[in-house]
Amino acid sequence: MKAPALISAIGGLAALMATASTAQELSSSQIERGRYLTIAGDCQACHTDIENNGLPFTGGRALGTPFGTIYSPNLTPDDETGLGRWTREEFHDALNEGIDDEGQHLYPAMPYPNYTLMSREETDAIFAYLQSLEPVHAETPENDLPFPLNIRMSVSGWKLLFFEDEEFVPDPDRSEEWNRGRFLVDGPLHCGACHSGKNLLGASQDDEYLRGGLLENWFAPNIRAGAGGGIAHWDTDDIVEFLKYGRAEHTAPMQRMGEVVSISTQHLREEDLRAVATYLKSLEDELREEEDTPDPVRLETGAGLYFDNCAACHAADQSGVPYFFAPLSSSNKVHAEDPSTAIRIILGGARAQPTDTIPSMLAMPPFSWKLSDEQIADLLTYLRGTGDRRAGPVSAAQVTEMREYLAEEEH
């Protein structure tokens, strides 16, 4: 109980002294601190129109939500289109309360329910960093939301129900590392924005905390790493390697998570990643109900399809090639309750994220042209029915639905 209080007291004192004596140094170290937090917050990912080779932080990226398309704004200090005329207070209100410089409510695609855990010093640091960027004039397209959501006031009701403005409070019974991990996971890293289940209004549900969530038809898997969790078989090093190098024994980050590793986590300090892992390892989960053994005919068909199409990389016994090709017998994507990601990867392929340490571009090719919906359903039913943990069968209709979604997305 005493230690954290003491540390924060010393920290406060140091900050005070710095303000008084060395303003120039403070400014530079504050920008550096802000840069780090900006990386941790993965701000660049949403605020860059990656699909159209947009300039970093200039916004304009279309963010699909279940309610419509939202375009991210320009974060560079351009007076007209960016944050040029914002104050630190206004910026703090945006991150802390979800309110913009004109007092309007921000849509919760911006993860302020997470960012609110950051302190005023931290949001000031992020602001200082963003203000140090080259200003770029970049208009943000109008959001494409249906009535009444296009009225920002409607967000106020949502916030009333689901948003709490809170600072991070360390748990004195836990280690400093664990607390740091929890702060990062729930705060800047905003893992739950994807990995926690959402209610019908798009708010994270407490009882679905890091148990996996569906976003743009990707199922972000259960990342609880304690007993019974989706990645209970990952140890601390596995989690650190995944986030730092983009390659781990069990799988590699792909597509959306690949972006997170590429822009954010590979650049974070190892002790921070270790803290994240320590925290995730403390999250236990209830054991899932065992599914019945699927239809033996489907299992046999699936096994044959697996051997012909998958075994060359993922090995005949599904053990894969650790750090290269995911072992499927223990994959938290294959065995997720929601098979969306697995279906999607088989249909459309996936690319392991190249990182600074491992620039390889290992990829799985798409099978949409080669396997029918029935075949993919049988293949997944086989994988989900024979791995280390059992998950329910997949129907051809589920594959058809995803195929249609992907075809639509391409247009």
Binding residues for another protein, rule: CB under 8 A, are: 247, 309, 312-313, 321-325, 349, 351, 354, 356-367, 369-370
204 in Cβ contact with 197 (< 8 Å): yes
For the bound state, the minimum distance from the C-beta of residue 322 to another protein, rounded and expressed in Å, comes to: 8
DSSP 8-state symbol, 1: -
Helices (H), 68-116: 88-97, 112-115
For the bound state, the minimum distance from the C-beta of residue 93 to another protein, rounded and expressed in Å, comes to: 37
Tokens for 365, please give them: 């090719």
Q: Which is nearer to another protein, 84 or 366 (CB)?
A: 366
For the bound state, the minimum distance from the C-beta of residue 301 to another protein, rounded and expressed in Å, comes to: 19
Q: Which is nearer to another protein, 81 or 353 (CB)?
A: 353
Opening angle at CA 259, ends 140 and 390, nearest 5: 125
For the bound state, the minimum distance from the C-beta of residue 341 to another protein, rounded and expressed in Å, comes to: 18
Q: What is the DSSP annotation of 76-87? A: S--TTTSSTT--
Q: Which is nearer to another protein, 226 or 354 (CB)?
A: 354
Q: What is the largest CA-CA distance in the chain?
A: 77
**For tokens 């005949």, what's the residue?**
316
Q: Which is nearer to another protein, 26 or 313 (CB)?
A: 313
Binding-site residues for heme c, please? Answer: 43, 46-47, 191, 194-195, 310, 313-314
253 in Cβ contact with 191 (< 8 Å): no
Q: Which is nearer to another protein, 228 or 322 (CB)?
A: 322
Residues in CB range of 138: below 8 A, 6 or more apart: 54, 55, 58, 59, 60, 74, 76, 78, 81, 82
For the bound state, the minimum distance from the C-beta of residue 84 to another protein, rounded and expressed in Å, comes to: 28
